[in-house]
Structure 1
Amino acid sequence: MSGRKPSSPPRPIAPGDIVIAFSETLDAWTAAQITGLDPDGQMAGVLDLDWSGPEPTSVADLGEVSPLVLTHTNWGDHLSHCNYEWVLPRSYRVIGSLPLLCSEPAQSYSTGWRLGERLALQRRRDRGERTPWSDPRELSITGTDVGRMTSEPVEPRRDIRHLRVTEVESLDCERLAEHFPELTTLSLSGDLGLLVHASGLNRLASLRQLWITDLFGMSASDALLPEHVPALELLYLGSIPHEYAVAMRSRWRPQVAYGTYVDITAARTPEWIAENRDNPLRHWDGREQISRTCFRKAVAQYKKTRAALIAALSDGSQEDRPARLHEIGREYGEAFNLLDRRTGFIETVEREELYAALDVMVSDAERALGVRLESAADILAAGVDAVRDW
Structure 2
Amino acid sequence: MTYTLWGSAHSLYTGKARSYLIKKGLPFRERYPSDPEFASRILPAVGHFVVPVLETDNGEIIQDSGDIIDFLEQRHAEPPLEPQSSVQQWVSLIFDAFGSEYLLPLAMHYRWSYRDEQETFLRAEFGRAMVAGVDRSARRESAARTMEFFAGFLPNLGVFPEVIAAMEDSYLALIDALDNHFQHHPYLLGGRPCRGDFGMMAPLFAHLGRDPVPAMLMKTKAPNLFRWTERMNAVPISDGEYPGYGEDYCGQDTVPETLIAVLKIVFADWTPGLKADADCFNAWAAHKKAGDVVSRSGEPQIHPNVGKVEYPWRGVTMKRGSAPHMLWMFARAQDLAAGSAGEAGERLNALIEQVGGQEAMELSLAKRIMRDKNMLVLA
Determine which structure has the larger helix proportion and give its number. 2
Larger radius of gyration: 1
> 1 or 2, which has the higher strand percentage?
1
**TM-score, normalized by the shorter chain, greater than 0.5:** no
Query: TM range, normalised to the smaller chain?
Result: under 0.3
